[in-house]
């Protein structure tokens, strides 16, 4: 998801996403510590995202640490740091095609069909 501000975030139910893992053992990352002022800002941001339905409570056995970036205007961005989980993911065998290869393949064609 890319948004300039969390007010621009929306939730979709257009598709369901599944992550296939190499093993079924939960990955649990240690949480970082934050100063009280940052904790207050994070709590406010998380409550707002919950209220708007952007995020939802989880009962998953997996956890990832978070990183928080405070912008010049004081707004914070909360990011999931899923590095531990990433190493256990089975690669998607149907990755997106290379756009340059596609363009080279259809270069000079008279008719195009989808």
8 A C-beta contact, residue 6 and residue 77: yes
Tokens standing for residue 96: 């997106």
For 31-60, give the DSSP string: PPP--HHHHHHHHHHHHHHHHTTSS-----
Identify whether 113 is part of a domain.
no
**This prediction's pTM:** 0.63
Task: Please check whether residue 72 lies inside any domain of the structure.
Answer: yes
CATH code for the domain of 25: 3.10.10.10
Average pLDDT, the chain: 83
Q: Please report the DSSP string for 71-95 in residue order.
A: -TTS-EEEEEE-HHHHTTBPPPSSP
Quote the number of domains for the chain.
Answer: 1
Stretch among 8-22, 23-37, 48-62 having the lowest mean pLDDT: 8-22
48 falls in which pLDDT band (50, 70, 90)?
Answer: very high
What the block records as the tokens of 13 is 């139910």
pLDDT at 114 over 90: no
Rounded Cα distance between 88 and 99, Å, is 28
What does the pLDDT average to over 85-113? 81
Among positive and negative, which fits the CA dihedral 73, 65, 43, 52? positive
Of 1-5, 21-25, 73-77, 88-92, the poorest mean pLDDT is in: 1-5
Q: What is the pLDDT of residue 51?
A: 92
pLDDT in tens, 33-44: 999 999 999 999
Residue 57 token pair: 């409570």
Residue 61 domain boundaries: 6-106
């Amino acid at each position: 998801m890319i948004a300039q501000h969390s007010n621009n975030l929306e939730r979709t139910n257009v598709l369901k996403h599944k992550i296939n893992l190499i093993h079924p053992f939960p990955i649990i990352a240690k949480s970082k510590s934050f100063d009280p002022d940052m904790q207050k800002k994070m709590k406010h941001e998380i409550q707002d995202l919950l209220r708007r339905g952007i995020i939802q409570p989880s009962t998953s056995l997996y956890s990832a640490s978070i990183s928080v970036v405070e912008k010049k205007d004081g707004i914070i961005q909360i990011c999931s740091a899923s590095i531990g989980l990433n190493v256990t993911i089975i690669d998607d065998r149907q990755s997106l095609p290379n756009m340059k290869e596609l363009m080279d393949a259809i270069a000079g064609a008279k008719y195009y069909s989808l």
